[in-house]
Structure 1
Amino acid sequence: MKFSLLVITTIIGASLTSCKDGRPQDITSEVIIGNGQMPNATNDNTGNFHIVFGSGDSIMYAASTDHGKSFSAPALVSVLPGLAASHMRGPQIATTSNGLTIIACNKEGDIFSYNMTDSGNWIKSARVNDTDTVAKEQLMALSGNQGNLYAVWLDLRDKHNKIVGAGSNDGGKTWSKNVMIYASPDTTVCECCKPSVVIEGNNVYVMFRNWLNGNRDLYLIQSNNRGLTFSNAQKLGTGSWALNGCPMDGGSLVVQNNKAQTVWNRKGKIYACEPGKPEQQIGEGRNCTLEIADGKNVYAWIEKGAVICLLPQGEKKILGKGTTPVLKAIGNEQILCVWENENQIHSRILSL
């Protein structure tokens, strides 16, 4: 993948030194990437990081070629009138062997994909939903692996929100016929919670908040044929959250070596959970996420308006005010956290 138009600028400089035990210290200074909302991030097989976020109706992109220490000046991907970029809704980005792909949704409920060319320009390539204006909740997720992408979203075809997905094997230039992944027998899934998706090889994992028997619990559903068909949905954790309303908090999912790890909020408490095992409380707050680095789980969430990061040794780091954190591993010893605060996109590197 070429980035010939990339101009890397260090917004806040910080040098990397070593601790007494040989581990690198935190790069404690924040980097302000640009003005905008709802960041999403991915990294490629060369170690570059790619960030997408919304700014009004503009889809913005920035990249780092120095392991997250600095980012390019944000560049315009496209203007999408009515772009959804608030309240857990925003553009999503993924990388495959075909390059970078972004998906974004407008207020009418249509999802579009954008691809980066070899010259570093972006082109609008396709519409993901095969029925008009069905993604009216504008809540979606995207994952890429090798040559394949998979997108999931809350879908209002047939009047009730359900989980629907589509795959692409050409980097988002075209999308498969949409697949109905899950429909709640109680008419709808949770209406305002963002789903999560991970594609790994032929396996696709989808996590979503259900509405079943009056409970707003997290469920995991899996496909072993790249999303053509899915197994039965599996409830995560042993407890339930009876709630006549939507918490607007869908949690996060990662998969490594076909082993899923999840994190989510129930009644303001943050739980980590492996499918089929009891959940473990790790904190209090909302908007939680996780990443795996060197086989160890790293978590982040929002607690009393601050971004909290929980490292593998159990140490909690307060990164500052903000919301919607995203974590990405930098090799085996560091983690990049990206978040939003007062219409600015921030990042910081932490050592594990």
Structure 2
Amino acid sequence: MIRHGSLGIAALVLLQGTALGQMHRQHASEAACDEPTLRCATKTTPAFGPDGTLWLAFMAGGQVLVASSRDGGRNFSAPSQVTTKRLNLDWGPDARPKIVVDRKGGIALAFSIFRDEAFNGQVLYTRSADGGKSFSELKPVTANNESQRFEALALDQDGTIFAVWLDKRNRIPAKEAGRKYDGAGLFFASSRDGGATYAEASLAHDNTCECCRLGLTFAAPGRPAVIFRSIFDGGVRDHAVMTFADVSTPGEIHRVSTDDWQINACPHHGPTLTVAPNGTYHVAWYTNGKARKGLFYAHSRDEGRTFSAPMALGRPDRNPTRPFVLAGPTGTVMVWKEFDGEKTSVQMTISRDDGETWSPPKTILATGDTSDHPLLVTNGRKIYLSWMTKADGYRLAEIEDQP
């Protein structure tokens, strides 16, 4: 059984500069541990199954694997290989394998690989119908040969799996037509057979930032909602939310905040979105704009059409990064990372009144070495922090109630 893990890629600070420079630094740091085991995991993504089993999809040794825990993350099963050979997995700061587990115990996975040295990607998917013992042959989520990266998956109440990703297929037609083309397009597809096949890819919105993670959830049954870093007039890369009318029909985009971050580069620092049972949208993001700099939170009570004034998160002198927000049964929880010069900590705050007020930030875990991004996951009753650290291995911490 596996208990401890090792991680070697997550940055302690947001690396400013070109995407190429960032990726080389991240890639070089992976070499310390090269076995397809949880001990060597570089990215871990959690999901709870219907029976309470915790599933982890992770990257290690150039492969994607899955392991499960029935005792709250203290021990894990021997990993099952999703991939059969070493691949050039997307090792960018915001890339990781995605996993959803449906009510029948079916497991759907998606991840991206690099197809060349220019960081052109391809999103692959697979599924397991036997409780993670084996996985189907890897298939591309779209037949198009242009670059796709930063996929996200969400599971609807009826078992439909919805996928979004960033796709560069529109850049060549634009160039041939003599039009300027910035960034990538937000594309989507859905699966009604548990992730065995996906519908033909469709464009939701063009000219998005090409290298930041997407935040995806369902705002209501049949209505996906996604947050992404869009490219507005003047090359400004601020965040936007789109709510779909159904899994085939994109909606209008609405700007979350006018941060005025004009940058012709890749921040590699994507946003996060959750929708509470009452319909409130909660979002958090990073910006280095003219209007504000750092981590911020806002909420919307009209399906993302308008948002509250941005609320700053974390201590600026400790470089707050990598926010994640999740609405659960006892409130809305938000976490992020801070670095005090010696240790990286995960800070947590809770709102009991739908985002109007928040508890004082509290350190819930810390490490003296490198670590993955902090993620939140729920089993429907409680919310947990999921965090991979090099020094302390994989850690699952229950978010305890605060006064």
- Give the partner amino acid of 1:283: G
| Residue pair 1:191, 1:246 contacting (<8 A) in 2 also | yes
- Give the partner amino acid of 2:213: K
Distance 2:98 2:390 in 1: 20
| Residue pair 2:38, 2:58 contacting (<8 A) in 1 also | no
Distance 2:111 2:202 in 1: 19
Distance 1:134 1:76 in 2: 25
For 2:338, the equivalent position in structure 1 comes to 303
Is residue 206 of structure 1 aligned with residue 226 of structure 2? yes
Pairing 1:60-71 to 2, within 5 Å after superposition: 60-71=65-76
Shift of 1:198: 1.3
Deviation track 1:43-99 (CA, whole Å, cap 9, x = no partner) reads 233222211111132101121223444332333221362222442112111122351
For 1:281, the equivalent position in structure 2 comes to 312
| Uncovered stretches (5+) of structure 2, i.e. residues with no partner | 5-36, 116-120, 172-182, 301-305, 351-358
Higher strand share goes to which structure? Answer: 1
Distance 1:56 1:164 in 2: 29
For 2:41, the equivalent position in structure 1 comes to 36
Deviation track 1:100-138 (CA, whole Å, cap 9, x = no partner) reads 101121112222211112262222253212312431xx2
For 1:325, the equivalent position in structure 2 comes to 374
Runs of 4+ deviating beyond 3 Å: 67-70, 340-345
Higher helix share goes to which structure? Answer: 2
Distance 1:281 1:249 in 2: 16
Distance 2:91 2:387 in 1: 14
Distance 2:391 2:204 in 1: 34
Shift of 1:154: 0.9
For 1:130, the equivalent position in structure 2 comes to 143
For 1:349, the equivalent position in structure 2 comes to 397
Distance 2:313 2:331 in 1: 15
Shift of 1:336: 2.3
Residue 209 (structure 2) aligned to one of 170, 185, 190: 190
Residue 57 (structure 1) aligned to one of 49, 53, 62: 62
- Give the partner amino acid of 1:310: M
Residue 139 (structure 1) aligned to one of 145, 150, 156: 150
- Give the partner amino acid of 2:155: G
| Count of residues in correspondence between the two structures | 317
| Residue pair 1:84, 1:90 contacting (<8 A) in 2 also | yes
Distance 1:314 1:219 in 2: 28
Distance 1:114 1:168 in 2: 12
Q: What percentage of aligned pairs have identical amino acids?
A: 21
- Give the partner amino acid of 2:206: A
Shift of 1:245: 2.8
Residue 75 (structure 1) aligned to one of 75, 80, 83: 80
TM-score of the two chains, using structure 1 as the length reference:
0.82
Aligned CA distance change for structure 1 residues 341 and 68 (closer, same or farther; 3 Å): closer
Pairing 1:1-352 to 2, within 5 Å after superposition: 9=1, 11=3, 33-79=38-84, 81-97=87-103, 99-108=106-115, 109-118=121-130, 120-124=133-137, 126-135=139-148, 138-146=149-157, 147-159=159-171, 160-184=183-207, 189-199=208-218, 200-213=220-233, 214-226=235-247, 228-257=248-277, 258-267=279-288, 269-275=294-300, 276-277=306-307, 278-284=309-315, 285-304=320-339, 306-312=344-350, 313-321=359-367, 322-330=371-379, 332=381, 334-342=382-390, 346-350=394-398, 351-352=400-401
| Residue pair 2:2, 2:38 contacting (<8 A) in 1 also | no
Aligned CA distance change for structure 1 residues 315 and 87 (closer, same or farther; 3 Å): closer
| Residue pair 1:39, 1:345 contacting (<8 A) in 2 also | no
Distance 1:286 1:216 in 2: 17
Distance 2:88 2:391 in 1: 17
Deviation track 1:174-220 (CA, whole Å, cap 9, x = no partner) reads 10111101113xxxx21221112113411011110012123221110
Deviation track 1:272-313 (CA, whole Å, cap 9, x = no partner) reads 111322221222512111222324121222212624231323
Shift of 1:342: 3.8
- Give the partner amino acid of 2:238: D
| Uncovered stretches (5+) of structure 1, i.e. residues with no partner | 1-8, 13-31
Aligned CA distance change for structure 1 residues 255 and 71 (closer, same or farther; 3 Å): farther
Secondary structure of 1:324's aligned partner:
coil
